[in-house]
Amino acid sequence: MKNTSTQSSETTVGTYLASRLKDIGLQHYFAVPGDYNLVLLDELLKQTDLKMIGCCNELNAGYAADGYARATGGAAAIVVTYSVGGLSLINAIAGAYAEDLPLIVISGGPNTNSEADYELLHHTLGEVDYNYQKEIYERVTADAVILRHPALAPGQIDCAIATALTKRKPVYIEIACNIAGETTTKPITRNFTTLPQSDPHALKAAVKHAAEFLNAAKRPVLVAGAKLRAASAAPAFKQLADASDYAIASMPNAKSFISEQHKNYMGIYWGPVSTIGCSEVVEASDAALFAGPLFTDYTTTGHQTGLNRQHMIVATPTSVQMPDAVYTNVMMHDFFEQLAAKLKTNNEGVVAFNRVREEKPVLAPGKADTPMTTRQLFSRIQKLLDKDSSLLVETGDSWFNGMDIKLPDETRFEIQMQYGSIGWSVGATLGYALGTDRGRVITCVGDGSFQLTAQEVSTMIRCKLDPIIFLINNGGYTIEAEIHDGPYNIIKNWDYAALVDVFNAEDGNGWGCRVTTEGQLDKAINHARHHRGVCLIEVIVSREDCNRKLLRWGNRVAGNNSRPPHL
């Protein structure tokens, strides 16, 4: 087919893809250029309703897309070059797969003639093998396709995008470099967002069985899990909570999925490091409905929980697991909506929690010259938050301090707990700030994590974004030290605050400062409130200063990791 990509009236493979990205609600996509994707980038740029965000490297671009998908509740897209780009990106995509985020990976690929001509190519493994990147991505995506013919491209693109949105998982689309500018058919209007439907017979039976089980209980409870997002079932879960009057808890990777201002909210269920009183009520319940849980070594503190499976209902995105039966092809949102109408109100769990709960005392600020502690830092962050805020916390001590914050109603909270890739939060902050239509993004990240992805602060400055980043400098990898310490957990110190001036260069408006005392922190926060641009506040704390729950959690996870082999 003759290349007519210079004719703006023609639809090319690249402009078709751009139209579909616009159709599913994207306003931005993230990119790192390379010679296999340059024509594709030219074609994507013709869609002026989409803005390309160039990132410093592919890993950061993937984390940015992760944050963007979280902020918008939809998909995100990343464009990379073949092999050296695609393989650099794959860690972020594996994380998105683990966290149920529909990221669309778009990679340039070799010329369609190269394989037939048996050519060795640059950026490759030095073998005549053109499918290895697709094969690798098949392990971390719900669909992986290579576009080698313009006429077939529309169907392949549409199928991959639909799969990403319905399965809430990443997909991989590789476009041969000599195909991106070739003409193809125009896109036809279609709906990509249809929710899967429950089997009506299985749904009815599951609702009846669950209602009987819960209505017979003396002290039923509800626990929100991470898969609520993948199932688009958080509103239905709130409906169920309101209708039942049950006590409510959240697993740590579902924090903010139900309002922490709800009258029946107990706190975080996290095994031995739960909110005080919360685990006692959940584990003593004779009927606990878990909504999309992930029972991993991290979320159960080394599998140290006292849950009785005979007292549990587990709702997954597509099934309901009772103690004595499993109902398949039952969508979580349908199940909750119908179950809400069948339950008797019962607040005995709330009554029990109120007997044992302990209100966290308000931490009074110290004198202005008092050295900084993480507790004082997070008490200030608590006061910074409002209903429009979004709080991102990096893997490490920030997880545990973040869990202790009681979020205002509608405040959003993000954590990458299932995959736990350090450095995630910096790239995710870029994407989240671009994707949100709410107030400011606030990020808490440790110095060790920041060193992995620091460059993307420069992209935030270039895009004129205004997140507030609290960089907690304690001289190393705290979470690893609490699991298993060694000299490998100590890192080279940087002048982190001064990096903002480096990234500003001649035209940026970022602002950075270092604080060592409470008075300095208060002044820095006041300045950040009024500054419109990236704010990076480096907070110096002792290496021994970490949340006490991290100490307990790290010990239990370390014990689980160090079990001797079964010989």
pLDDT the model gives residue 481: 58
Helices (H) and strands (E) in the chain, counts: 22, 19
Q: Which residues, other chains included, contact 29 with Cβ-Cβ below 8 Å and sequence gap of 6+?
A: 21, 44, 50, 51, 52, 53, 65, 76, 77, 78, 79, 106
Q: Are 53 and 64 in contact (CB under 8 A)?
A: yes
Mean pLDDT, rounded, of the chain: 93
pLDDT the model gives residue 542: 87
pLDDT digits (tens, 9 = 90+) for 60-115: 999 999 999 999 999 999 999 999 999 999 999 999 999 999 999 999 999 999 87
Q: Are 59 and 108 in contact (CB under 8 A)?
A: no
- 351 and 430 together in one domain: no
Last residue of a domain, one of 176, 210, 226: 176
Q: Percent of the chain at pLDDT above 70? A: 97
Q: Are 503 and 458 in contact (CB under 8 A)?
A: yes
Instruction: Look at residues 229, 231, 166 and name the one whose alpha carbon lies nearest to residue 194.
Output: 166
Phi-psi region of 120 (alpha: psi -120 to 50; beta: other; left: phi over 0): beta
> Is 390 among the domain residues?
yes
- 444 and 525 together in one domain: yes
> Is 192 among the domain residues?
no
What is the pLDDT averaged over residues 35-54? 97
- 168 and 218 together in one domain: no
pLDDT digits (tens, 9 = 90+) for 292-346: 999 999 999 999 999 999 999 999 999 999 999 999 999 999 999 999 999 999 9
Q: Is the pLDDT of residue 282 over 90?
A: yes
pLDDT digits (tens, 9 = 90+) for 193-223: 777 899 999 999 999 999 999 999 999 999 9
What is the pLDDT averaged over residues 452-472? 97
> Is 555 among the domain residues?
no
Q: How confident is the model at residue 384 (pLDDT cuts 50, 70, 90)?
A: very high
Three-class DSSP category at 414: strand
Domain CATH code at residue 482: 3.40.50.970
Last residue of a domain, one of 356, 389, 418: 356
Q: Is the pLDDT of residue 235 over 50?
A: yes
Per the structure, how many domains does the chain have?
3
> Is 1 among the domain residues?
no
Q: Percent of the chain at pLDDT above 90? A: 84
- Strand-pair category, 319-322 with 312-315: antiparallel
pLDDT the model gives residue 6: 38
- Strand-pair category, 325-328 with 511-515: unpaired
Q: How confident is the model at residue 518 (pLDDT cuts 50, 70, 90)?
A: very high
- 311 and 452 together in one domain: no
pLDDT the model gives residue 123: 87
Three-class DSSP category at 112: helix
Last residue of a domain, one of 308, 324, 356: 356
> Is 326 among the domain residues?
yes
Residue 525 in tokens = 């926060």
pLDDT the model gives residue 479: 60
Q: Is the pLDDT of residue 135 over 70?
A: yes
- 384 and 342 together in one domain: no
> Is 4 among the domain residues?
no
Q: Is the pLDDT of residue 487 over 80?
A: no
Q: Is the pLDDT of residue 3 over 80?
A: no
Residue 165 in tokens = 């949105």
Residue 200 in tokens = 């009506």
Q: Are 222 and 236 in contact (CB under 8 A)?
A: no
- 470 and 512 together in one domain: yes
- 344 and 480 together in one domain: no
Lowest mean pLDDT among 14-28, 411-425, 535-549: 535-549
Residue 426 in tokens = 């910096």
What is the pLDDT averaged over residues 216-237? 97
Residue 439 in tokens = 């107030």
Burial 275-303 (b: 16+ CB within 10 A, else e): bebbbbbbbebbbbbbbbbbebebbbbbe
pLDDT the model gives residue 2: 39
* DSSP H or E stretch at residue 447: helix 447-453
- Which residues constitute the domain of residue 391? 374-547
Q: How confident is the model at residue 12 (pLDDT cuts 50, 70, 90)?
A: very high
What is the pLDDT averaged over residues 236-264? 98
- 149 and 234 together in one domain: no
HEC readout, 51-108: EEEECCCHHHHHHHHHHHHHHHCCCEEEEECCCCCHHHHHHHHHHHHHCCCCEEEEEE
Rg value, the chain, Cα? 25
Q: Is the pLDDT of residue 551 over 80?
A: no
| 8-to-21, 43, 144, 356, 386 alpha-carbon distances in Å | 18, 10, 29, 68, 46
- 124 and 209 together in one domain: no
- Strand-pair category, 325-328 with 319-322: antiparallel
- 168 and 208 together in one domain: no
Q: Are 224 and 250 in contact (CB under 8 A)?
A: yes
What is the pLDDT averaged over residues 223-243? 97
- 167 and 105 together in one domain: yes
pLDDT the model gives residue 548: 81
Lowest mean pLDDT among 125-139, 254-268, 379-393: 125-139
> Is 563 among the domain residues?
no
Q: Rounded to an integer, what distance in angstroms lies between the CA atom of residue 397 and that of residue 280?
A: 24
Helix intervals (H) in 198-296: 200-215, 227-230, 234-244, 278-284
Q: Rounded to an integer, what distance in angstroms lies between the CA atom of residue 227 and that of residue 433?
A: 23
What does 294-361 look like in DSSP terms, one character per residue?
---TTTTTTT-----GGGEEEE-SSEEEETTEEEES--HHHHHHHHHTTPPP--HHHHHHHHH--PPP
Q: Is the pLDDT of residue 4 over 60?
A: no
- 388 and 263 together in one domain: no
Residue 125 in tokens = 């493994």
What is the pLDDT averaged over residues 161-174? 97
Q: Rounded to an integer, what distance in angstroms lies between the CA atom of residue 24 and that of residue 190?
A: 10
Q: Rounded to an integer, what distance in angstroms lies between the CA atom of residue 61 and that of residue 53?
A: 9
Torsions phi, psi for 505 (to 5 deg): 50, -130
pLDDT the model gives residue 327: 98
> Is 565 among the domain residues?
no
Domain CATH code at residue 204: 3.40.50.1220
CB atoms within 10 A of CB 561: 11
Q: Is the pLDDT of residue 272 over 90?
A: yes
Q: Is the pLDDT of residue 559 over 80?
A: yes
Q: Are 154 and 183 in contact (CB under 8 A)?
A: no
Q: Are 442 and 392 in contact (CB under 8 A)?
A: yes
